[in-house]
Chain A
Amino acid sequence: MTTQPPILLPLTLTAALFTGGAVLASWAQPLDAAPMASSDPDGTESPEGAASDDATGTPGIVPSEAAAASPDAPRSSEGRAPAPAPPAGLTVHLDGVQDRGGKLVVIVFADEAAFAAYDVDRAVAYEEVAAKAGRTTLRMPWLRAGSFAVSVWHDANGNRALDMKGEWPTEGYGTSGRVGKWDTPAWSAAAVPPGEVAVRVHYP
């Protein structure tokens, strides 16, 4: 056995490496998030909902409604130059999320019947992420081929249900291809190819 240095020194070094690595990793944010990071490093302490709703857009990002309104451009190709090659799979940007706590539930359908029936068992993706004010981006690299309709709702109170009042939700909701708050897009409008899609979350 080789001679071992006193154990405290390596353990201290290990603790330092752990901490340093974690701090380094916490800075590894997507470039999109950088403008927000100037005032708010981890996006958790955003001001009240309404204000942050408008503050989400970094300059040059087309809101989902504008992108979806033009039938030729269902994918929101952002006006950033030079445009990097889009990553494989589906990348979902959730815009306009308000600071109401709880989780965002994102469900992706790959066929019309499942989408029309809102059959979660036949969905190709089901993701829950902590709801943060502003833009949240989810990558689903396994969704490479086909058309996808993205549905999202904001389970602010954590009861695992989209709360309704009569026919309309009382929590945030959104769908790809949705033109406005009151629109209920059909499959043909909601389906997008792999790439990037921006989905706005509407609040009643």
Chain B
Amino acid sequence: MDWLFTPIAPHALEQLEAWIGDTFFVLAFAFLAVELLVYALRRRFSGALAADVVTNYLTLGAFMVITYVALGGVYLTGFVALEPLGWLDIPVNAATVVICVVLADLAYYWEHRFAHRVGLAWATHSVHHSSPFFNISVAYRFGPLDGLLPFAFHAPLVLLGFDPVVVFFSEMFVQVVQTALHTELIRRLPAPIEAIFNTPSHHRVHHGSNRAYLDTNYGGIFIVWDRLFGTFAPEEEPVVYGLTKPLEAGNPVWAFLHGYVRLARRALAMPRLRDGVRALFSAPGWAPTPTQES
């Protein structure tokens, strides 16, 4: 068991992180090819699907430019600045990385729930949900400011004393596991796995616009958070993917920016200013009159 507590050089963890991220990106392309082939064989392949795949990777490109140019610096300096404030001095080894991944998954749950229930955050996260399809390329569909929220929700881990490199690694790990769930090819996994872990089935539900599926299954690696906090829904009726109000046009620029435009329109349409401001911070379906459905 010595290996569990042998210190790991942070540098090595950074290298492993980069390797996993890159390798997974390439494997995702291979998997996408298989998915598209299966759609073709089932006669479900269409021009709209092909265009959507292209849109997904275009949003990824735009997201990466924004994240690396503008947000990456904030992130790095932010975590490094917070590091000396850390309460505990947590060593870097396999055991603490595993613990941090579990806690980062919990942090992700709240980040994700926040992204769905607060207008300004939903405006960027809704890009990810705006695809009417569900394949692994959708996992790479990002909104402009999707890089901002993880900082706020994972900073507590740095403040508790985890090494920033370990927190980054854990975030990436949760993200990679999540990415792998974006597929229709895997129907159900064995019951014990479905009970504990987030699975393609659970995540299809999360992407559903069906009434029963809205605001459910926020988990990253574990679905237990949803069961614990009352946001779990099993896959029963067929999933209708996408937004309750689908995108008007399939063009990538609109897909990337629609969230903010729609939010601004909604806020400006409110007759009272304070309702407009409240709309920015409220759930997407929020309306001033309490009789309307949410």
Contact mask for chain A residues 124-155; partner B; CB cutoff 8 A; 1 contact, 0 none? 01110000000001111110000000000000
Given that A18-B160, A22-B88, A22-B90 are contacting pairs, would A4 and B110 also be in contact in the complex, using a CB cutoff of 8 Å? no
In the bound complex, CA of A125 to CA of B102 (Å): 30
Of the candidates B88, B106, B231, B232, the one whose C-beta lies within 8 Å of that of A17 is B106
B90, B160, B228 pick with most chain A CB within 10 angstroms: B90
Which residues on the B side are within 8 Å of A23 (C-beta)? 88
The answer to the question of A42 belonging to the interface, with a C-beta cut-off of 8 Å to chain B, is yes
A18 to B157, CA, bound (A): 8
Given contacts A22-B103, A28-B95, contact A10 B90 (CB under 8 A): no
Interface size for A (C-beta < 8 A) is 38
* A25:B95 contact, CB within 8 angstroms: yes
CB distance from A162 to the nearest CB of B (A): 20
Q: Are the C-beta atoms of B214 and A1 separated by less than 8 Å?
A: yes
Report the minimal beta-carbon distance from B17 to chain A, rounded to whole angstroms. 13
Residue of B nearest to A138 (CB): B9
A44 in contact (CB, < 8 A): yes
The complex places the Cα of A61 from the Cα of B122 at a distance, in Å, of: 56
A26 within 8 A of B: yes
The B interface is mostly helix, strand or loop, or mixed, namely: helix
Query: Quick check: is B89 within 8 A (CB to CB) of the other chain?
Result: yes
CA distance A30 to B95 in the complex (A): 10
Interface status of A5 (Cβ within 8 A of chain B): yes
Which of B7, B11, B161 is in CB contact (< 8 Å) with A125?
Answer: B11
Query: Can you report 20 residue pairs joining A to B where beta carbons are below 8 Å apart?
Result: A2-B230, A2-B233, A4-B230, A5-B229, A10-B230, A11-B110, A17-B103, A17-B106, A18-B157, A22-B162, A25-B88, A26-B89, A26-B161, A28-B4, A28-B96, A28-B99, A87-B6, A137-B6, A139-B9, A142-B12
Q: Which B residues fall within an 8 A CB radius of A?
A: 2-12, 15, 87-91, 93, 95-96, 99-100, 102-103, 106-107, 110, 156-157, 160-162, 212, 214-216, 228-233
